[in-house]
Amino acid sequence: GGSRMSIQQPVLELKNVDIGYNDALVNNVIARVLPGEIIAVLGPSGIGKTTLIRTIAGLVEPLKGEVTLHTKKKGGLGYIPQRLGLVRHASVRHNVNLGAKAGVPFSRTMFEERKTRVEEAAKALGIEDKLKEPVRRLSGGQLRRVATARALAQRPQILLADEFLSELDHQNVEVVIKAVQTLLEDGTSIIMVEHHEENVRLFATRIWLIKDNHLHDYSLEEWMDIDESSWREQYMEEEE
């Protein structure tokens, strides 16, 4: 029901935010993100998609306005950067455990809990037989799986992912999406930069299209209703 949704506390609020480094790439962003929403960020390259993600992650200061996260201080925000941010010389287990460490609160049972989370996440991504392997020996698809397992072990309330599925083949996309589905069931919200329209259709609930220095916010239905040919024309013009 729509009424129940509106009472929900947002996990993220953007109030009149200008995003960029010196000059604004995106102006006056106003948005609220509720638990369990999956937002795909679209638009040509160089238009501010990564900067938007980095601003929400707190790595870039907004030029104006405010970004408010309503998440746990510890481990509430997960971030998978474009280059994945894995510790290359360390093992798969070490990397996945970094997520578990970020997400498991301090307690007497925390080591047990971390170990369980690492093993569950590795299993969900089909990399349990690789836990001892150094990350640098893995293929691109396997690296994505490790980064996803790290996020899964953290169980953040909001997960930011940049170009998350872009280089994955079909099989890897399915494995990763299935694993991420378990986070969604816990109410995690996901904001991801995405290039492939077919991935967007697979699981986004909402689309943020950055165009003409503004963020256009659509539900998936609205976005699919927009006359696609005209949208593609505009999109291609901007790419040149």
Grouped pLDDT means (10 residues each) for the chain, 240 residues: 62 95 92 93 86 93 95 89 89 96 91 94 93 93 91 93 76 79 84 81 87 92 72 58
In the chain, how long is the greatest CA-to-CA distance? 59
The tally of CA atoms less than 13 A away on the side-chain side of residue 103 is: 28
**What is the structure's pLDDT at 131?**
96
pTM comes to 0.84
- Return d(Cα 119, Cα 41) in angstroms, integer: 31
Alpha-carbon 43 to chain mean position: 16
**What is the structure's pLDDT at 45?**
80
**What is the structure's pLDDT at 2?**
47
Using left for φ > 0, alpha for ψ between -120 and 50, and beta otherwise, residue 71 falls in beta
What is the torsional sign of CA 54, 58, 61, 63?
Answer: positive
**What is the structure's pLDDT at 3?**
47
